[in-house]
Amino acid sequence: MKYEIKHTLDGERVSEKEFKRRSRAMKTEGVPNLSRSDHWRKHESFAMACHPSQVSEFNELAKKAGTGVVYRPDGMPVITGKGMKRKEEKHRSMYNKDDYS
C-alpha cells in the first residue's frame, strides 16, 4: 500500500519543493537574527548601568580598559557590538547567564 503525501499551504495543494520553500520562509519571518550586525546597532543594558553621579568615573574606566562603551548622563551604557559587550562584561567581572549570542 502506497501512501501519498499531500502538502497544503493556505488551503491550497502545493508541491513538496514549494512547501519546503514557503514553510522555511514562514518559520524565519519575524524572528530576530542575532548573528546579523544590524541587530547590534545600539544595545542598552540596565544591569550594566551606573548611578548618574558615577557616569564620569565609569566613562574614564571604560576608556582606560579600551572597551569603547560610553555611558549616557542617566547612567545607561550604549553598546554597539557583541565584542564591545563582552569586553565590558569581562572588565567589570560580570557574567550573563542568559546570553546566547
Percentage of residues in the chain having pLDDT higher than 90: 23
Please indicate whether residue 3 or residue 98 has the higher confidence score (pLDDT): 98
Give the residue ranges of DSSP H helices in 1-101.
16-28, 55-65, 82-91
Distance CA 33, CA 99 (A): 14
At 74 the pLDDT is 92
At 82 the pLDDT is 81
Residue 61 · residue 40 · CB < 8 Å: no
pLDDT digits (tens, 9 = 90+) for 39-77: 556 777 888 899 999 999 999 999 999 988 999 999 999
pLDDT digits (tens, 9 = 90+) for 84-94: 888 888 888 88
Compute the mean pLDDT over every residue in the chain, rounded to the nearest whole number. Answer: 78
At 3 the pLDDT is 58
